[in-house]
Amino acid sequence: MKKAADALAQSATEAAAAAPSRPSRRSALQGAGLLALGAVGGCALPVGADSRATVQTPFDVARPLLPIVGTSEQFPVRRIYCIGRNYAAHAREMGSDPTRELPFFFQKPSDALQLVAPGATTDHPYPPLTKNYHYEIELVAALSKGGRNIAAGDALQHVYGYTIGLDMTRRDLQRAMGDEKKPWEIGKSFDRSAPMGPLHRVADVGHFTRGAIWLKVNGQVKQSADLKQMIWSVAEQISKLSEAFELMPGDLIYSGTPENVGPVVRGDVMEGHIDGLPNLSVRVV
Ligand code: MN
């Protein structure tokens, strides 16, 4: 026992000796706190955010990134927000009244992102626990500016770019949890539930307020609509979302899916399209 205690004391001493050249966890946290104070003054880092150049961690955690088309840069993804029932016909098929409902939002973890490179078909694993795995094709907006209570008229200035994405859904689990008034996470927010293409800058593709959006499965059209049929526009979504959450650079927003969501099984190939963006192709494996 004495030996072990000595060894512990020894290693503690070594740690103390090493401390001046290596920021301790406590000082790192204090540093993050200072950065968080900076956030009040407009710095983008929230409480607990690190500055990877100075903070030491016992292991690395992958940071979700989206390639930015036409550049060598990657877009760092902070949060993935999704709006529910944002096309009237889809709201009806999900059993709600599109004329009365305020927009509502849920999140997927940012590491649910699965990058789908254009011009190829990406394998997407069928997830566990479900027997009713649904596609939802959606326009995704990416923010480079944050804020609270953003006016709809100013909201598009916060958008850096757009891509096409799938809000993959374990529909049976989502419905079961809804029926029991439990959270949707297991139905919506699981691993790789957010396949999407690389990001296109507004400077290159403009804003998306209209244009065809469709999804084919094995070459057959399943979903087909126009972006102008959204109940809440991207600008309105940003505005509403910013009343509930402080938005930050790096946030993504799935803008809702049109009607005719439906199931896929292993072997199915989904092809998604939005006018002005390259198609997305995913094989369920
Ligand atoms: Mn959706």
7 — pLDDT class (breaks 50, 70, 90): very low
Of 261, 271, 257, nearest in space to 140 by CA: 257
pLDDT 10s digits, 188-199: 999 999 999 999
Q: 92 CA to middle of ligand 1, Å?
A: 14
Q: 272 CA to middle of ligand 1, Å?
A: 14
pLDDT 10s digits, 65-89: 999 999 999 999 999 999 999 998 8
Torsion of CA 190, 195, 199, 205, to 10 degrees: -120
**For the chain, domain boundaries:** 1-61, 65-284
Architecture of domain 65-284: Alpha-Beta Complex (3.90)
Q: 202 CA to middle of ligand 1, Å?
A: 22
Q: 7 CA to middle of ligand 1, Å?
A: 55
Ligand 1 ion local residues (Cβ < 5 A) = 136, 167, 257
Q: 261 CA to middle of ligand 1, Å?
A: 9
- Residue 35 in this model has a pLDDT that exceeds 60: no
pLDDT (average), residues 161-186: 96
pLDDT, position 95: 87
- Residue 5 in this model has a pLDDT that exceeds 80: no
Q: What is the mean pLDDT of the chain?
A: 86
Asked if residue 45 lies in contact with residue 36, where contact means CB atoms within 8 angstroms, the answer is yes
Q: Which amino acid is at 252?
A: L
pLDDT, position 250: 98
Pairing verdict, β 133-135 and 262-264: antiparallel
Angle at 187 between CA 185 and CA 193, to 5 degrees: 90
pTM of the shown model: 0.82
Q: 175 CA to middle of ligand 1, Å?
A: 14
pLDDT, position 24: 40
- Residue 46 in this model has a pLDDT that exceeds 80: no
pLDDT, position 16: 38
Q: Which amino acid is at 77?
A: V
Distance CA 101, CA 85 (A): 9
Tokens of 36: 């968080």
Residue percentage of the chain with pLDDT more than 70: 81
- Residue 171 in this model has a pLDDT that exceeds 50: yes
91 — pLDDT class (breaks 50, 70, 90): confident
102 — pLDDT class (breaks 50, 70, 90): confident
45 — pLDDT class (breaks 50, 70, 90): low
